[in-house]
A and B are shown apart, each in its own frame.
Chain A
Amino acid sequence: MKNIKNKMRPILVIMVVMALSFSCQDHLDDLRENPNAVTSIDDAALFTKAVRSLFQGTTDESVSRFGGQYGHYFMAGSTARLPDQYGDGFDSQYNSMFSGMYGGVIRHIEEVLDITSTGDTKNEVRHSIAYVIAVLGYAKLTDAFGEIPFTEGGKGKTEGIISPKYDSQDLIYKEMITSLSASIAILKTADPAMGYPNSDPIFNNDLNKWVRFANSVRMRLAMRLSVADNALSRQVVTQCLTEPLMETNDHNAFMIETEGNGNAWFTMRTGFPSIKMSTLLIDQLQSTDDPRLSVFVSKDGNGAYSGMTNGLDDTAFGNSNFSTKSDMGIALSSKESKLYIMTASEVWLLRAEAALAYANDPAQANTLFRKGIETSLNQWEIVASEVTAFMSSPAASLTGSNDELQIGTQMWLALVPNYFEGWSHIRRTGYPVIADRTAPNLSQGVTNGVLPTRFLYSSFELSSNKDNVLGAISRQGANKIDTPVWWDKN
């Protein structure tokens, strides 16, 4: 008996040690699980995140400091006005805008595209809807920076790419158009139950509206290629006209921010940095008796409309009495004001431009032009009598002598408050004309007074993704704010 006990002893010890280490391992496995988050989620929750980020992007620094001032809609106060002087010393902002656009829309929509393309969660309807959002996210990025990571963009998690290669804007636009065409084809016959019922912040899962929206976005992209790739532009526009487009204000893609302090223009108007509307905008609206004046612009303390001239140098700005000038209109900048991604009025005006340029049909162009203006006036709930009065004024009909300018100017107005798009529109068409800054009281910045055409790649990107970004610079041109992006051939 004693013998057995002696022999058993080491075996017992080994068993106890093994049992102990197994239970240790189980305990460590339990602790490894993060208790603060989940490991799987319905892609609808990530889709809403991406969509909300897209709308929030219409009021972020890329617009309040850059796009909106480059678009000559307004002038911001304090340090936010500095980009208006055409300088480029904004390294930290270039970095935060680049990583912000990727981290908001792109990070979440790439995940949705991944979830909806494989396994049990494969769903081509959701995938097609999500792609429209992805296109809008990437389009803003490439319009701002030129070449960007696209085929490898936003794939840090889904494909483990942390130093993504850059793609030419040419390729990006073509890919976006092709994918939108695929989305439209699927969504036309899709079952709404497969979409995002109860989780669609824009159209409440109305797939008919999604088709119109996707096709209208395709139309916007196609027209952006009017100079850079005229043949493709014509071909895609023709295709767009055979499918439903956004036609009434019911089709508009907008969102009302109800969280936090609401529409960010509210805080920027009432607090920092303070936004004053531009002389260019006020003059345009006043000279044509446009009823949108009182919508877009608030009266100043004296009951008049007084704007800021964009580009004033420091001395002139100091003497400008900035704080007394007209604020952004209440309809655009109250807490509940709508945020817009795309409107029917923009689509009518794109069609007017296409009718003129591609169909060579001035009469049709005029009809579409008038439709665009009327839709815009109704969007802002202008009273019927004022609509009638404006529609019968000379500004509301093409004269045949300067139609591109008229269409371009009305487009600039119709895009309000989507100011970033306004800047892109000016870069492509040259309307309204933004004169080179030569007057002694205007700052010429680093562009010799010429309207900037892009944002810079930041120093952080030049360190962290050096080879890829240097490749982009060698193809596209120097990393300067007056290097035009590919579609900007004007």
Chain B
Amino acid sequence: MQNEYGSGAFGDFAPIGADGRPILDYPFSWSWGPRMEGQAYTNWLGQPDTYSAHGNPYEQFYQNGYSASNSVAFEGQSEKGSFRMSITDENRRGIIEDNTLSKQTINIRGKSNLTEKFSIDGKMTYLTSKVKNRPGLAEDGANTALQLSLMPRDIRLSDVENNTVDANGQEIKWNLDNTFNNPYWSQNNVKNIDEKDRFQGIVSANWDVAHNFTITAKSGMDYIVYDYTNYAARGSQYQSNGLGNYGHDSGKSRVWNSDVLATYNTNISDVRMTLSLGSSYRDEYSSYVNISGNDAKVDNLYRISNYKNSYSSEGISEKGVYSFYGLGQFSYRGFLYFDATLRNDNSSALPKENNSYWYHSENMSLLFSKLFGIESNTFNKGKLRGSFAVVGNDTSPYRTQAVYNVDQTVTLPYTVGSIPSSLPSFDLRPETSESWEVGTELGFFDNRLQLDFTYYETKTKDQIMAVPISGGSGYSSKVVNAGVISSKGYEFQLNSVPIVTDNFEWNLGFNFTKSNSIVESLNEGLESITLNSLNAVSVEARPGEEFGSIYGYDFLRDNFGRKLITDDGVAQKGERIKLGSITPDWYGGITTRLKYKNFSVSALISIQEGGEFYSYGRAYRMFFGTDARSLEGRETGVIVDGINENTGFVNETPTMAMLNQYSNIFTNEIATDQILDASNVKFKELILTYYFPTSLVKNSFIQSGSISAIGRNLFFFHNAAGDIDPEAGYSSDPTGAALEHSSLPSTRSYGLNLKINF
């Protein structure tokens, strides 16, 4: 954030409107006004004021969050069975006012040996949670981080807080753009509540038919009921044109999994083997009812009857999968191990002809240090392992059938039907993924130095996805077996204990991962699959390229890569090219732990080298002029690096800094300057722990205990992207991390953890 220039444009204040307030329409609601020198001016409310900066609005707006979690557990055991129960209560408060989470969990587990050969086991978890006021994100007008990051630098946050609604009940803002809210207005008037109850239960019966033959039957359920309501009060243009709105979604989902497994153990000379045969059925069911409305009749009532327009929708989804499988485990003299599995699934989500698919896997490991008898104190463990696996997968239900929806209408005398925007696939095949890996584990000096290395290759074929397609087809996406993606990489891990004495121990570990995915081919003649997009930037899969290439408009350049500049000194929009990739060159981490008597300190540092992301948030702050980088050339103009398109000489014509940003970012949508390097070194975690000495607790009912101070996400040792956290993605999937848009500030957290075992 810069603190030198306030609201206005072209170095001037906004014109004053008939109501005595400045007319803060674009571009005058940006921070491209005169230099702030404490001069007298009319502020955004139309009051005389002095023109100066007022600090960091983030610090003033956001509060410290906290979280507290308490749990107790009881346990009992006898020959006849065992019983355990635990209860956890968790409460959190976010950095935004009224953003809270409350969650309670109860766990019960019991086991009973009915006879010597027959036992039953039951487990139940009940979880209830209530989250209030999840914050709005990205382009959402109620995203407070976006509003604050773009607020002209001369505006006092307290003025914004004290002026949210006018006499007519309309929202007051510093900006006429109706796609933004006053952050305090949205904090006070845009609300949501998310309630969820979850029940997980599983019962199993175990029958020892003979001493080496058992049959186990299990049946388990995961049942979730949710209820989500959200509303916005009347009075803000962004929220349903000032009419206010309300939504209430409720639904349930149930996953029921039952299986039977017969297991046989035997030894044939030096070979121990376990053979199993089994079968299972999995049923996934969910349903929802959503209602929404707009145009509130009276204020402060958030129930559907209070809305002049109301809409509703409902749906049911169900899928079934039958599986049959066999497993075999063999070991020879404790140094050679071999496991194999074979499995067949039959899913209702795939078309009848293709609904059956197979899995298999083979794993072998050899403890060669034992085989060759070379184990010693210096070299105590040597293991080689290799595996091969084929995994099949289905998809979500109802993607193989063409259907028509019947539209909800209230006033029309005729029926309106519609066709879903996503095309089904009638000949969908199951996904398959083939992979193999080899690795080694080595231990030295009684495992004080351990090395683990793995190399792997994976080939995923026929991945099922709804691929966005040309609008010219009439549809927005089609479900397809997308193509072939191959990945390879290696992982390396080193753990060591350089020093250990009676009272002192030092642990040090490193890990390193390098992975690379290539799109080998795409089916159905697709030239590209857009995985995610924001503004004119997209993350794509194109044949022959890395999975997750970032595409966007570049500057117009000559054959030597120099920008071509107009006579006015302005850069121009060029081709749409690959500007980066989401894949880092490598990433890794360092962990260390020092323990002295009852004290320990542990730390975790993460490192990422390479990979890029696009920051639309940065782009916004640049052309709104709030970013410190936008200060360049404010008084003198900016001379853009490049050559004049007409003369061929180096450009010497200055252009106004504001127009330069506006033209590149907003008008021409050139993304090159907002593609940021994601390389960083982050201090992820620091934990200080004190273990209560046994002498202290010996005579009490406490068995052991500890107290820890924890700090997470502490700081960056190095961050190539400067003020933006590369992990603050736009959406949660891997491709979303490549797109950032005015995310909430990343939080550093500190905590205390007291653990007592009775």
Interface residues of chain A, those whose CB is within 8 Å of chain B, are 21, 24-25, 27-29, 31-42, 44-46, 48-49, 52, 77-79, 87-89, 91-92, 95, 98-100, 102-103, 106-108, 110-111, 148-149, 152-157, 161-164, 166, 198-201, 258-261, 267, 270-273, 314-315, 317-319, 321-324, 446, 459-468
Min CB distance A234 to B, Å, is 32
Report the nearest B residue to A266, measured CB to CB. B241
Q: A89-B667, A271-B237 are in contact. List 4 more A-B contacts (CB 8 A).
A: A28-B320, A46-B404, A314-B26, A463-B530
Contact check, B320 vs A31: say whether CB atoms are below 8 A apart.
yes
Contact check, B241 vs A91: say whether CB atoms are below 8 A apart.
no
Given contacts A77-B176, A461-B472, contact A271 B418 (CB under 8 A): no
Contact check, B469 vs A107: say whether CB atoms are below 8 A apart.
no
Would you call B419 an interface residue if the criterion is a C-beta within 8 Å of the partner chain's C-beta atoms? yes
Report the nearest B residue to A152, measured CB to CB. B472
Report the nearest B residue to A324, measured CB to CB. B18
Contact check, A38 vs B406: say whether CB atoms are below 8 A apart.
yes
Q: What residues of B have a CB within 8 angstroms of the CB of A98 in the complex?
A: 471-472
Contact residue among B12, B400, B406, B471 (Cβ-Cβ distance under 8 Å from A95): B471
Contact residue among A24, A32, A87 (Cβ-Cβ distance under 8 Å from B400): A32
In the bound assembly, the distance between CA atoms of A249 and B706 in angstroms comes to 87
Contact check, B18 vs A102: say whether CB atoms are below 8 A apart.
no
Contact check, A465 vs B237: say whether CB atoms are below 8 A apart.
no
25 A-B pairs with C-beta separation under 8 A: A21-B322, A28-B320, A31-B397, A32-B349, A37-B405, A77-B25, A79-B179, A88-B667, A102-B474, A153-B473, A154-B473, A157-B419, A157-B423, A162-B469, A163-B473, A164-B473, A271-B241, A272-B179, A446-B667, A459-B551, A459-B552, A459-B553, A466-B528, A467-B527, A468-B472
Q: What residues of A have a CB within 8 angstroms of the CB of B397 in the complex?
A: 31-32, 34
Report the nearest B residue to A268, measured CB to CB. B241
Would you call B253 an interface residue if the criterion is a C-beta within 8 Å of the partner chain's C-beta atoms? no
Q: What residues of B have a CB within 8 angstroms of the CB of A24 in the complex?
A: 322, 346
Contact residue among A155, A163, A460, A465 (Cβ-Cβ distance under 8 Å from B474): A155
Q: What residues of B have a CB within 8 angstroms of the CB of A315 in the complex?
A: 9-10, 12
Min CB distance B640 to A, Å, is 17
Given contacts A78-B25, A103-B476, A459-B536, contact A89 B315 (CB under 8 A): no
In the bound assembly, the distance between CA atoms of A42 and B404 in angstroms comes to 10
In the bound assembly, the distance between CA atoms of A95 and B534 in angstroms comes to 12
Contact check, A45 vs B416: say whether CB atoms are below 8 A apart.
yes
Contact check, B241 vs A272: say whether CB atoms are below 8 A apart.
yes
Q: What residues of B have a CB within 8 angstroms of the CB of A322 in the complex?
A: 23, 25
In the bound assembly, the distance between CA atoms of A111 and B402 in angstroms comes to 12
Contact check, A103 vs B469: say whether CB atoms are below 8 A apart.
no
Report the nearest B residue to A466, measured CB to CB. B527
Would you call B700 an interface residue if the criterion is a C-beta within 8 Å of the partner chain's C-beta atoms? no
Q: What residues of B have a CB within 8 angstroms of the CB of A323 in the complex?
A: 17, 23, 176
Min CB distance A87 to B, Å, is 5
In the bound assembly, the distance between CA atoms of A34 and B218 in angstroms comes to 30
Contact check, A460 vs B530: say whether CB atoms are below 8 A apart.
yes
Min CB distance B214 to A, Å, is 20
Min CB distance A485 to B, Å, is 16
Q: What residues of B have a CB within 8 angstroms of the CB of A270 in the complex?
A: 241
Q: What residues of B have a CB within 8 angstroms of the CB of A153 in the complex?
A: 472-474
Within 8 A of A (CB), among B195-250: 237-238, 241-242
Given contacts A39-B401, A324-B18, contact A107 B419 (CB under 8 A): yes
Would you call B409 an interface residue if the criterion is a C-beta within 8 Å of the partner chain's C-beta atoms? yes
Q: What residues of A have a CB within 8 angstroms of the CB of B669 in the complex?
A: 89, 91
Min CB distance B86 to A, Å, is 37
In the bound assembly, the distance between CA atoms of A322 and B576 in angstroms comes to 37
Would you call B742 an interface residue if the criterion is a C-beta within 8 Å of the partner chain's C-beta atoms? no
Report the nearest B residue to A98, measured CB to CB. B471
In the bound assembly, the distance between CA atoms of A46 and B416 in angstroms comes to 6
Within 8 A of A (CB), among B394-422: 397-398, 400-407, 409-421
Q: What is the count of residue pairs linking A and B with beta-carbon distances less than 8 angstroms?
A: 267
Contact check, B469 vs A49: say whether CB atoms are below 8 A apart.
no
Enumerate the 9 nearest inter-chain pairs by beta-carbon distance, A residue then B residue, closest first. Answer: A99-B471, A45-B417, A271-B241, A156-B473, A154-B474, A149-B472, A37-B403, A465-B470, A31-B348
In the bound assembly, the distance between CA atoms of A261 and B309 in angstroms comes to 8
Q: What residues of A have a CB within 8 angstroms of the CB of B351 in the complex?
A: 32
Contact residue among B14, B319, B475, B538 (Cβ-Cβ distance under 8 Å from A459): B538
Q: What residues of A have a CB within 8 angstroms of the CB of B615 in the complex?
A: none
Contact residue among A29, A258, A321, A446 (Cβ-Cβ distance under 8 Å from B23): A321
Contact check, B473 vs A40: say whether CB atoms are below 8 A apart.
no
Contact check, A314 vs B27: say whether CB atoms are below 8 A apart.
yes
Chain B 520-536 interface mask (CB, 8 Å, partner A; 1/0): 00001111101001011
Min CB distance A125 to B, Å, is 17
Would you call B332 an interface residue if the criterion is a C-beta within 8 Å of the partner chain's C-beta atoms? no
Contact check, B346 vs A464: say whether CB atoms are below 8 A apart.
no
Chain B 156-183 interface mask (CB, 8 Å, partner A; 1/0): 0000000000000000000011110000
Would you call B38 an interface residue if the criterion is a C-beta within 8 Å of the partner chain's C-beta atoms? no
Q: What residues of A have a CB within 8 angstroms of the CB of B409 in the complex?
A: 259
In the bound assembly, the distance between CA atoms of A164 and B28 in angstroms comes to 44
In the bound assembly, the distance between CA atoms of A323 and B23 in angstroms comes to 9
Q: What residues of A have a CB within 8 angstroms of the CB of B530 in the complex?
A: 460, 463-464
In the bound assembly, the distance between CA atoms of A274 and B492 in angstroms comes to 60
Q: What residues of B have a CB within 8 angstroms of the CB of A100 in the complex?
A: 471
Contact check, A198 vs B473: say whether CB atoms are below 8 A apart.
no
Given contacts A36-B316, A459-B538, A463-B551, contact A52 B416 (CB under 8 A): yes
Given contacts A45-B415, A48-B415, contact A79 B177 (CB under 8 A): yes
Contact check, B470 vs A103: say whether CB atoms are below 8 A apart.
no
Q: What residues of A have a CB within 8 angstroms of the CB of B468 in the complex?
A: 460, 464
Contact check, A49 vs B10: say whether CB atoms are below 8 A apart.
no
Contact check, B474 vs A106: say whether CB atoms are below 8 A apart.
yes
Contact residue among B18, B320, B538 (Cβ-Cβ distance under 8 Å from A321): B18
Contact residue among B348, B419, B470, B533 (Cβ-Cβ distance under 8 Å from A111): B419
Within 8 A of A (CB), among B404-450: 404-407, 409-421, 423
Min CB distance A148 to B, Å, is 7
Within 8 A of A (CB), among B536-558: 536, 538, 540, 551-553
In the bound assembly, the distance between CA atoms of A41 and B176 in angstroms comes to 46
Q: What residues of A have a CB within 8 angstroms of the CB of B348 in the complex?
A: 27-29, 31-32
Report the nearest A residue to B15, measured CB to CB. A319
Contact check, A259 vs B412: say whether CB atoms are below 8 A apart.
yes
Min CB distance A17 to B, Å, is 9
Q: What residues of B have a CB within 8 angstroms of the CB of A161 in the complex?
A: 473
Contact check, A459 vs B576: say whether CB atoms are below 8 A apart.
yes
Contact check, B414 vs A41: say whether CB atoms are below 8 A apart.
no
In the bound assembly, the distance between CA atoms of A49 and B535 in angstroms comes to 30
Q: What residues of A have a CB within 8 angstroms of the CB of B355 in the complex?
A: 28
Q: What residues of B have a CB within 8 angstroms of the CB of A36 in the complex?
A: 314-317, 398, 403, 405
Contact check, B178 vs A78: say whether CB atoms are below 8 A apart.
yes
Min CB distance B311 to A, Å, is 8
Q: What residues of A have a CB within 8 angstroms of the CB of B14 in the complex?
A: 318
Contact check, B411 vs A258: say whether CB atoms are below 8 A apart.
yes
Contact check, A260 vs B416: say whether CB atoms are below 8 A apart.
no
In the bound assembly, the distance between CA atoms of A115 and B513 in angstroms comes to 55
Q: What residues of B have a CB within 8 angstroms of the CB of A459 in the complex?
A: 536, 538, 551-553, 576
Q: What residues of A have a CB within 8 angstroms of the CB of B297 in the complex?
A: none
Within 8 A of A (CB), among B497-519: none
Contact check, A201 vs B414: say whether CB atoms are below 8 A apart.
yes
Report the nearest B residue to A166, measured CB to CB. B472
Min CB distance A307 to B, Å, is 17
Q: What residues of B have a CB within 8 angstroms of the CB of A48 in the complex?
A: 412, 414-417
Chain B 659-670 interface mask (CB, 8 Å, partner A; 1/0): 000000011110
Report the nearest B residue to A261, measured CB to CB. B309
Min CB distance A351 to B, Å, is 33
Contact check, A79 vs B316: say whether CB atoms are below 8 A apart.
no
Q: What residues of A have a CB within 8 angstroms of the CB of B317 in the complex?
A: 36
In the bound assembly, the distance between CA atoms of A21 and B355 in angstroms comes to 13
Min CB distance A41 to B, Å, is 4
In the bound assembly, the distance between CA atoms of A270 and B243 in angstroms comes to 11
Q: What residues of B have a CB within 8 angstroms of the CB of A108 in the complex?
A: 418-419
